[in-house]
Amino acid sequence: MTTVSPFAPARFPELPEVAGVELAAAAAGIRHADRLDLALVRLPPETTVAGVFTTNRVVGHPVVWCRRILPAGRARALVVNAGNANVFRGEEGDEAVRRTAAAAAAALGCAPEEVFVASTGVIGERLAVERIEATLPELAGALRPGAWEPAARAIMTTDTYPKGAARAVEVGGATVRLAGIAKGAGMIAPDLATMLAFLFTDARIPAPLLQRLLAGVVPATFGSLTVDGDTSTSDTVLLFATGRRGPPLGEADGPLVAAFRQALFEVCRELAVQIAKDGEGIGRFVEITVEGAVDEASARRIGLTVANSPLVKTAIAGGDPNWGRIVAAVGRAGEPIDVDRLAVAFGGYAAARDGRAVPHLDETPLRRHLEGREVRIEIRVGDGPGRAVVWTCDLTHGYVEVNASYRS
């Protein structure tokens, strides 16, 4: 039933080994038989960790667990399952996380509080934790460095391709590596948009700095992505640093930290774009640039309001450069704008500027731009310094098809 995204790459990207990181994946039968749905990652002692989680007030039991153990800043393992999000199950849901962490800890010889857990899939149903417990020992015996692709496949739900990105950074004469995998806001099973991203580096970075770096890049990367505005209960981004390569990085290492930060930003952006390009039912990928806002956060909120407008998204599905709908979405974002400076362009071709339609507008080049698979929308909302880029996809029959089907 699901059509593969037109943006699916021919193959999974080449990702390097990250020193100290070993991965394995298996089909544990959590929801469907014979598909990879459980991933285990082993991390060496001294691994630090940073995390960012959903802003939803209803959160999955694994998010509660991760938030609780994150302040210690240490990690030895990550367990991720697809097929069931383990949300809204009361004490039973918390118990399922504890059992998962305990089973991984026993298999790997660490403390349960060093095991991070994430789950994605249907909400409100019981997680078959006994299948996870039964499969973890086997996974622990199959761990190997560089097994990114099976891990990326094991965390997929309605994603149509596995997602990965990597960078190498020169840090004080050594090359440290950064690799990440993610799954999409392409909803679940098909049930709920959940974005999961797991990033690994062999750089040596203390947890508080790691947390600041991650929190710093998320707004302009994973935070600038929307498929349908439905923030999941389970969104999780985790960054692990094994400390196996390069010098220890601290606040004082300005330029080195900046180089790492740039690589982190690029990996996160690349994964965010991959997620947008696998939005459910996607026909066209859309990049929206907002300039002239009062600040970056305001520009982003305006961009996300446009990106979430069903009217804008259906117009793009129809190849219609319907700038009036964009203007209306900008106006309802509730952000300060200068209406007399408001301008909209598609792929560099102006449709409106200085608060009114371009006189005698010839829509031919705009429409031609919309014939492509990648659509750029440029919006000016005033003369302020705020600028942001957000990504989304169009709203097609495919989206309705995937999400109107029953949860079987």
Which ranges of 190-287 would DSSP assign to H, the alpha helix? 207-217, 254-276
CB nearer to a second copy: give 221 or 231: 231
User: In this structure, are residues 224 and 265 in contact, taking their beta carbons and an 8 Å threshold?
Assistant: no
Q: How far is the CB of 397 from a second copy (least distance, A)?
A: 5
Q: How far is the CB of 305 from a second copy (least distance, A)?
A: 10
Nearest to 242 by CA among 169, 197, 196, 177: 177
Q: How far is the CB of 260 from a second copy (least distance, A)?
A: 32
CB nearer to a second copy: give 93 or 180: 93
**Long-range contacts, 308-311 (Cβ 8 Å, 24+):** 308/226, 308/228, 308/229, 308/392, 310/395
CB count within 10 Å of CB 319 equals: 17
CB nearer to a second copy: give 124 or 250: 124
CB nearer to a second copy: give 180 or 279: 279
Both structure tokens of 164: 């990965």
Both structure tokens of 46: 């001294």
The one catalytic residue in 54, 135, 194, 201 is: 194
> Has 201 been annotated as catalytic?
no
Q: How far is CA 343 from the centre of its chain?
A: 30
CB count within 10 Å of CB 216 equals: 12
Both structure tokens of 28: 């544990």
Q: How far is the CB of 316 from a second copy (least distance, A)?
A: 8
Phi, psi of 226 (to 5 degrees): -150, 140
> How far apart are the C-alpha atoms of 135 and 137, rounded to whole Å?
6
- Residue found by looking up tokens 């952006």 in the block: 269
- Residue found by looking up tokens 């200085």 in the block: 354
| Cβ-based burial of 136 (10 A; exposed 0-12, middle 13-18, buried ≥19) | buried
Which residues make up the interface to a second copy (CB under 8 A)? Answer: 55-59, 85, 87-90, 92-93, 122-125, 187, 191-193, 228-233, 308-311, 314-315, 317-320, 322-325, 327-334, 337, 339, 342, 351-352, 354-357, 395-397, 399-401, 403-407
| Cβ-based burial of 127 (10 A; exposed 0-12, middle 13-18, buried ≥19) | buried
> How far apart are the C-alpha atoms of 290 and 337, rounded to whole Å?
11
CB nearer to a second copy: give 105 or 315: 315
Q: How far is the CB of 212 from a second copy (least distance, A)?
A: 25
CB count within 10 Å of CB 327 equals: 20
CB nearer to a second copy: give 85 or 118: 85
CB nearer to a second copy: give 297 or 311: 311
Q: What amino acid occupies position 80?
A: V
Q: How far is CA 17 from the centre of its chain?
A: 21
Q: How far is the CB of 337 from a second copy (least distance, A)?
A: 6
Q: How far is the CB of 219 from a second copy (least distance, A)?
A: 17
Residues acting as catalytic residues = 194
